[in-house]
Structures are given as C-alpha cells and as structure tokens.
C-alpha cells in the first residue's frame, strides 16, 4: 500500500463505478502529533476498558453456603484446626481473595478522543484506504446488492467500515448481514473502529458530516 502526500480518496457513484478522485479535508485527514502511537494506545485501551461490564463475582467464605460448626474438635486430634466447611482451603469452600464487581469506567477527555480519531483517519487516508460513494440507494434491505457494490469498491479481503450520515435502516441492515463489515454513523465515529477496519467506505453526506462535527 503506497503512502500518499496529500489526503485524497477515490469517489464512486451509487452503483460502485469510479467517477473521480477528491481531496479530503486537511483539518481531519492530515493531522500530525508528536507521539501518535502513545495517544492511540491510551484512547483505545481506555475504550476497551470501558466496555467491560465488571459484573463478575466469586464467593468468599461468607457468601458460600454451608454450616458454620467446627468439623472436628480443635485440640487433641494432632491435626491442624479447621473452622468450617466454608474454609478456603477446603473443596467447595469460599475463595480467600475472590473477584468482586468493579466499575472499570474511566473518562476520556473529549479533545483527546477527537484527536485520536483524526490521527487514525489520517493514517487510513495516507494509505489510500478511504473511499467515498455518492450514496447507498437501498429502498429495502438487500444484502446481495450491498455485497456487489462493496466488492466493486474494495475487492480486497479485510474488515470494512461503512459510514453513513444517519441511521438509515435499509442500508445498515443490508451491510450488517455481511460477516466482515461494520457500520456506524458519521457523528459517532471512534478511533478503535477506524483502526480495526482495513478499509473505510463513507457516503458523501457522511464525509460532510464528519467535517462538520469533528473539525471544531
């Protein structure tokens, strides 16, 4: 994959035919920072951390069911004393240091999230992995047609992200049935899904929306 000096993208019509090559907004697709890997690592790992539910729980000796009576008398047997069958050293006893519910959420500054998104989009644009389509004219969900159009635009294998300007049900439903395709709205893009995707296909309206929302 060649590295481009300017952020450009090939534009296609609604049936997947190439019509032009356009320049992408420099304030979003030509962003340089001092340590891009450090920024992306922090934002992506925090995003994945925030996806954790934190509801896993193991039982300690207080939560374990069982009698509290002593198993045998404390003195005179020559054995180590035992408190109850819920003792962590016994089979089916409670855990000594169990995993308890935890809130994994950690906020990410808005400026940092947006900068990470721009850095990720810049990387994909420089590698020529962003494609623009005029629109997806789906009156109803049609996975076969969606696959054909997408194959004309991106014939290579790999994860693809389809970006629309809004939640258009027929379009989203058509692409969601494909195993290697993700969909998202232009105003809710995140650096993680950009980095996960090998190729990005967005409508012209979605490109305008990205410029409107994230150029501030």
Residue-level pLDDT at 3: 58
The residue among 131, 136, 192 whose CA lies nearest residue 167 is 136
Q: % helix / strand / coil in the chain, to the nearest 5?
A: 35, 15, 50
CA distances from 114 to 27, 59, 187, 203, 212 (A): 12, 41, 11, 20, 13
Residue 140 counted as domain residue: yes
| Full strand arrangement of the beta sheet holding 160-164 | 18-23, 8-12, 130-133, 199-203, 160-164, 181-185
Instruction: Look at the chain and count its residues.
Output: 216
Q: Do the Cβ atoms of 131 and 12 come closer than 8 Å?
A: yes
Tens-digit pLDDT profile for the chain (216 aa)?
555 567 899 999 999 999 999 999 999 999 988 889 999 999 999 999 999 999 999 999 999 999 989 999 999 999 998 889 999 999 999 999 999 999 999 999 999 999 999 999 999 999 999 999 999 988 899 999 999 999 999 988 899 999 999 878 899 999 998 999 999 999 999 999 999 999 999 999 999 999 999 987
Return the CATH number at 190: 3.40.1370.10
Is the domain of 48 the same as that of 64?
no
3-class SS of residue 60: strand
Centre a 10 Å sphere on the Cβ of residue 76 and count the other Cβ atoms it contains. 7
Q: What is the dihedral of CA 186, 189, 195, 201, to 10 degrees?
A: -10
Residue 3 counted as domain residue: no
Is the domain of 76 the same as that of 164?
no
* CA dist., res. 204 & res. 11, Å (int): 9
* Residue 187: DSSP 8-state: G
Is the domain of 114 the same as that of 167?
yes
The residue among 164, 159, 146 whose CA lies nearest residue 198 is 159
Q: Is 179 exposed, middle or buried (0-12, 13-18, 19+ CB in 10 A)?
A: exposed
pTM here is 0.83
Range of the domain at 179: 8-52+108-214
* Domain end residue (candidates: 72, 100, 128): 100
Is the domain of 48 the same as that of 113?
yes
Residue 127 counted as domain residue: yes
């Amino acid at each position: 994959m060649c590295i481009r000096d300017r952020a450009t993208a090939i534009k296609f019509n609604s049936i997947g035919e190439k019509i032009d090559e356009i320049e992408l907004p420099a304030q979003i697709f030509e962003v340089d920072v001092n340590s891009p890997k450090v920024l992306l690592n922090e934002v992506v790992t925090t995003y994945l951390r925030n996806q954790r539910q934190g509801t896993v729980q193991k039982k300690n000796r207080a939560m374990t069911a069982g009698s509290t009576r002593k198993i045998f008398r404390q003195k005179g047997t020559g054995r180590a004393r035992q408190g109850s069958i819920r003792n962590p050293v016994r089979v089916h006893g409670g855990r000594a240091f169990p995993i308890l519910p935890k809130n994994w959420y950690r906020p990410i500054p808005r400026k940092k999230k947006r900068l990470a998104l721009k850095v990720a989009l810049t990387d994909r644009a420089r590698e020529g992995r962003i494609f623009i389509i005029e629109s997806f004219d789906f009156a109803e969900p049609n996975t076969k047609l969606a696959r054909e159009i997408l194959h004309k635009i991106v014939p290579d294998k790999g994860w693809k992200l389809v970006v629309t300007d809004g939640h258009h049900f027929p379009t989203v439903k058509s692409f969601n049935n494909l195993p290697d395709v993700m969909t998202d709205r232009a105003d809710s893009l995140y650096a993680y899904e950009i980095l996960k995707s090998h190729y990005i296909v967005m409508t012209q309206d979605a490109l305008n929306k990205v410029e409107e929302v994230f150029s501030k």
